[in-house]
Chains A and B, each alone.
Chain A
Amino acid sequence: MAQAKGIRSESGKVRRVIVVGGGLAGLMTVIKLCEAGVPVDLFSLVPVKRSHSVCAQGGINASVNTKGEGDSPRVHLEETVYGGDFLANQPPVKGMADAAPGIVYMLDRMGVPFNRTAEGLLDFRRFGGTLFHRTAFAGATTGQQLLYALDEQVRRFETVDVEDDKGIVVKGEKMVRKFEFWDFVSIVQDDTGRCVGIVAQDLKTMDVTSFPADGVCLATGGPGIVFGRSTNSVINTGTAASAVYQQGACYGNGEFIQVHPTAIPGADKLRLISESARGEGGRVWVPKDPKERRIGRDVPEGDRDYFLEAKYPGYGNLVPRDIASRELFLKCFHEKKGVYNDKTNQNELEVYLDLTHIQKDVLKHKLAGILEIYEKFVGEDPYENPMRVFPAVHYSMGGLWVDFERSADGSLVPGSPRNQSTNIEGLYAAGEVDYQYHGANRLGANSLLSCIYAGMVTGPSMATYRKNMKTSGYDSPKSTFDKAEKRERAKYTDLLKLDGKENPYGLHKELGDAMLLDCTIERHNDKLDKVIAKIDELEDRAKKVNVLDTSEHANRGAQFVRHLNNMLVLARVIAQGARNRDESRGAHFKPAFKERNDKDFLRSTLALYKGGEKGRSEVTYVRELDYTLAGRSVHITDSVDISLVTPRARKYEQAGAASAAATGALSGTESKKSAAATPSA
């Protein structure tokens, strides 16, 4: 058959690519596709401007080195893989660190109101896991501001006409068509398994419809809601990732879940207090006396235990999140030294995060966004009182496995269709939903960067894939789409008929409680076995739920049951992955196996779905895998590409340890050491 060519399929349709998810990664992918002349259908659960990226607060990393500290992308690369405990493939990280300054400049040109220096340059602040000022920021709502900038650019493409290969306008076709309030249900695969479209559901009319595409990118974010309450938006159920995993996509490093050290406990959500609070000099402490009855601000300096600064003089309050969360947990849960509560007569699971020593106008200028959240939800003034915070599930380092093609200089081959490709031909993934950039632990302010960078890579990669396709997805047999649509409609009709005794929201709470308690900061094999048994039980009970809502219009009950089933499948990938990995690495910590074990576990976890007995899900873990892309077979293994920075033990007690290879051992870090130990006001 002839190669699919040009803007139209053989049947005369404009050949579009589908992007699912309108956060930073999805929108950046859309922009890159449009710039390459590829029209896009953009699907999103919510209006894209309300995507979870808005919740990112602190900033975005780029080694622009405007403070004359000797920062460089090489240092950024090293600190990222060191912070990630060497589990990340290094070429994609190098690509990201090298691209970072250009990305921040692009955002600046797009009009992001980044904070400025006196000279009118971009200002940068400190974040965890580094001693350099590397984080550009727009107040403390950086994610919101970046999302808006990309949203605006995509909105511009909604007004741009599609042109054919001779530059003639195709009437009535715009570069971007948005489908907002649509729920992704599954991909459509042809007889060879290639992804040729999606099935999605309109959340107003509840219609289930299939859409053809010349490639699909999932940019659907993380699965935080699997843990019940987290810092995530309520839409982050991981349902799309779970659905394609059940259709054969490989899931990588699922067990690596980041717990953020500082969040406000709450009944509906655990609200994040950004790491930038510590980047600007915030200090974490508990009273030395566990029965301290004075309120935080009245406890004199000498009676406070600044436990992070004491234990990690090198990086102080800015140790990476995995370490900070473990130390907070140790203080509160094991040593029972959390802030004492007179009313309940117990030590709460809370520590102080203190900004009161910093000038008010500095705080207003740089952190107002998060302090406003604290004030609104806690009802206390954080300018005057130390905030009370505790760790919360925040981010998934793991996600859909994606490929990369390494270039001669150790980075990525530009435009290679392997970059960001899943093991299903034609299906790509970008953003938190992929597993690629953060290894076992993500550094703060690297997530906005990885989302945008992944989008910048995925766009060109998909454009190449589309260009080289033998047959367009639009020319797949109609029966392929009919079959997929019929299957998903039937599943939905079955959901509406569920009239059992179990309450789906109740089951979700039980799942969240089990995962939160035993599958986060500390993991014990006997407890993980219980979590897995609990998932078995919940999967059985989920078959007997009551859908609660049978309405044919804007039904949220049935949609939730679908998400719940998908969450249970992902929960098993996370819990079973944790059970299997008998070592401690980054965010994955087993007290019974305290050391990192590179000999046995310096490898990616590759999970494949298998339908198991009694209708339960099962996971198969593999060491290697073959997949087909553009008629070629690609062989992959679980070994990690460590070609650029040799793994070594992490030592955050020592200033400069995370950048020792790039900066030349630990020399010249003495002055920075003192800067880290005493917060700058």
Chain B
Amino acid sequence: MSDKKIRLKILRQDSPTKAKRWEEFDVEWHPRMNVISALMEVQRNPVTVDGTKVAPVVWESSCLEEVCGACTMIVNGRVRQSCTALIDQVSPNGEPITLAPMTKFPLVRDLIVDRSRMFHDLQKVKAWITLDGSHELGPGPRQAPENQEEAYPLSRCMTCGCCLEACPQVNDSSNFIGPAAINQVRLFNLHPSGKMHATERLEAVMGEGGVADCGKAQNCVEVCPKEIPLVDSIAQVSRATTKHMLFGWLLK
């Protein structure tokens, strides 16, 4: 048994209307430990470093292998999934680890925020193929392997919210839709059948809060856990909207 301890500093809030507070917890170190397993220890024994028994910390999680996007939070000041935040990497010399909820979404409790706006944005940009039906209609259109190689990385977006959290243009005084939804416009406009409705998607990201609101800070691509080329996606969609704005009426 090791007596090495990990200190967690957690920003807590009981509900959106209550005050924020920091609480600190010590938990025992284990090999291969991640932030989630440290939080699980706190859940089992919710006592702060000064010996006060408190309500267990709550957070959102599901897959614990960075494919679902649920456990996103701010670890040591950086937005990321907490399941892949290995303790030995975020606290190599036993430094305290700070955990805080994302700030660009309404708070629910402790480390849980409400990201439903991201799912609404997917509706807004019509991030789907308009299918004739799920009945048998034979194979889909043939696609070159290169097309798949371009689409697949874009399609790995987990709607986790890291890119929105890091984007300076996403804030209380802006309606900027953010990189995730714009990337979906590129993805579906690439697809042979998706292309047929490309204009609708482009129009959804034109105007206020659309792709033109991007400030080119490029933070999104830095924090994306799936290394999605978000800056490229924004540039491509931006060019397509400009083209559509200038020449779209000619094609009508």
A residues with a Cβ closer than 8 A to B are 28, 31-32, 35, 46-47, 49-52, 54-55, 102, 105-106, 108-111, 113-122, 138-139, 141, 144-145, 148, 152-153, 155-156, 158-159, 180, 204, 233-235, 265-269, 271-272, 365, 369, 373, 376-379, 456, 503, 505-506, 548-551, 553-554, 556-557
Given contacts A47-B119, A105-B137, A503-B44, contact A271 B55 (CB under 8 A): no
Given contacts A268-B40, A373-B66, contact A110 B152 (CB under 8 A): no
Find chain B residues with CB under 8 A from A108 CB. Answer: 139-140
A-B CB contact pairs (8 Å), 6 listed: A108-B139, A110-B140, A376-B66, A377-B32, A379-B86, A505-B43
Tell me if B159 counts as interface (CB < 8 A to partner A).
yes
Using an 8 Å CB-CB cutoff, how does the interface string of B54-85 with A read, 1 for contact, 0 for none? 01101011111111111000000000000110
**Neighbour of A46 across the interface among B31, B44, B62, CB < 8 A:** B62
7 A-B pairs with least C-beta separation: A120-B142, A108-B140, A152-B128, A554-B109, A268-B37, A109-B140, A102-B136
Taking CB as reference atom, which chain B residue is nearest A45?
Answer: B62
Taking CB as reference atom, which chain A residue is nearest B144?
Answer: A120
95-146 of chain B: CB within 8 A of chain A: 108-110, 112, 114-116, 119, 122-123, 126-131, 133-140, 142-145
Find chain A residues with CB under 8 A from B143 CB. Answer: 116, 120
Please, how many angstroms separate the alpha-carbon atoms of A118 and B116 in the complex?
Answer: 40
By the criterion of a CB under 8 Å from any partner CB, how many residues of chain B are at the interface? Answer: 72
Given contacts A55-B65, A55-B67, A120-B144, contact A110 B131 (CB under 8 A): yes
Tell me if B191 counts as interface (CB < 8 A to partner A).
yes
Given contacts A106-B136, A109-B137, contact A54 B68 (CB under 8 A): yes
**A95 smallest CB distance to B (angstroms):** 14
**A115 smallest CB distance to B (angstroms):** 6
Taking CB as reference atom, which chain A residue is nearest B36?
Answer: A268
Given contacts A120-B144, A556-B58, contact A111 B63 (CB under 8 A): no
Given contacts A548-B46, A554-B112, contact A31 B61 (CB under 8 A): no
Indicate if the CB atoms of B119 and A141 lie closer than 8 Å: no
Tell me if B11 counts as interface (CB < 8 A to partner A).
no
* Number of cross-chain contacts by CB at 8 Å: 194
**A156 smallest CB distance to B (angstroms):** 5
Tell me if B15 counts as interface (CB < 8 A to partner A).
yes
Please, how many angstroms separate the alpha-carbon atoms of A102 and B137 in the complex?
Answer: 8
Find chain A residues with CB under 8 A from B14 CB. Answer: 551, 553
Indicate if the CB atoms of B56 and A556 lie closer than 8 Å: yes
Please, how many angstroms separate the alpha-carbon atoms of A102 and B133 in the complex?
Answer: 12
Given contacts A120-B142, A267-B33, A548-B56, contact A148 B155 (CB under 8 A): yes
Find chain A residues with CB under 8 A from B33 CB. Answer: 267
B residues with a Cβ closer than 8 A to A are 14-15, 30-34, 36-37, 40, 43-46, 55-56, 58, 60-70, 83-84, 86, 108-110, 112, 114-116, 119, 122-123, 126-131, 133-140, 142-145, 147-149, 151-152, 155-156, 158-159, 188, 191, 193-194
Interface of B is mostly: loop
Indicate if the CB atoms of A204 and B44 lie closer than 8 Å: no
Find chain A residues with CB under 8 A from B43 CB. Answer: 505, 556
Indicate if the CB atoms of B37 and A456 lie closer than 8 Å: no
**A274 smallest CB distance to B (angstroms):** 11
Indicate if the CB atoms of B128 and A155 lie closer than 8 Å: yes
18 additional A-B pairs beyond A105-B138, A109-B137, A549-B56, beta carbons within 8 Å, are A46-B62, A52-B62, A55-B63, A102-B136, A105-B136, A109-B139, A109-B193, A111-B188, A153-B131, A155-B119, A155-B127, A267-B32, A269-B65, A271-B64, A378-B32, A456-B134, A553-B109, A554-B15
In the complex, which of the residues A32, A46, A267 has the most CB atoms of chain B within 10 Å of its own CB atom?
A: A267
Please, how many angstroms separate the alpha-carbon atoms of A554 and B152 in the complex?
Answer: 36
Indicate if the CB atoms of A50 and B69 lie closer than 8 Å: yes
Indicate if the CB atoms of A233 and B64 lie closer than 8 Å: yes
Indicate if the CB atoms of A233 and B63 lie closer than 8 Å: yes
Indicate if the CB atoms of A234 and B86 lie closer than 8 Å: no
Indicate if the CB atoms of B55 and A49 lie closer than 8 Å: no
Find chain B residues with CB under 8 A from A456 CB. Answer: 134
Find chain B residues with CB under 8 A from A235 CB. Answer: 62
Indicate if the CB atoms of A266 and B32 lie closer than 8 Å: yes
**Neighbour of B152 across the interface among A50, A139, A503, CB < 8 A:** A139
Indicate if the CB atoms of A505 and B44 lie closer than 8 Å: yes
Find chain B residues with CB under 8 A from A51 CB. Answer: 62, 68
Taking CB as reference atom, which chain A residue is nearest B30?
Answer: A267
Taking CB as reference atom, which chain A residue is nearest B37?
Answer: A268
Find chain A residues with CB under 8 A from B129 CB. Answer: 109-111, 152
Please, how many angstroms separate the alpha-carbon atoms of A305 and B116 in the complex?
Answer: 52
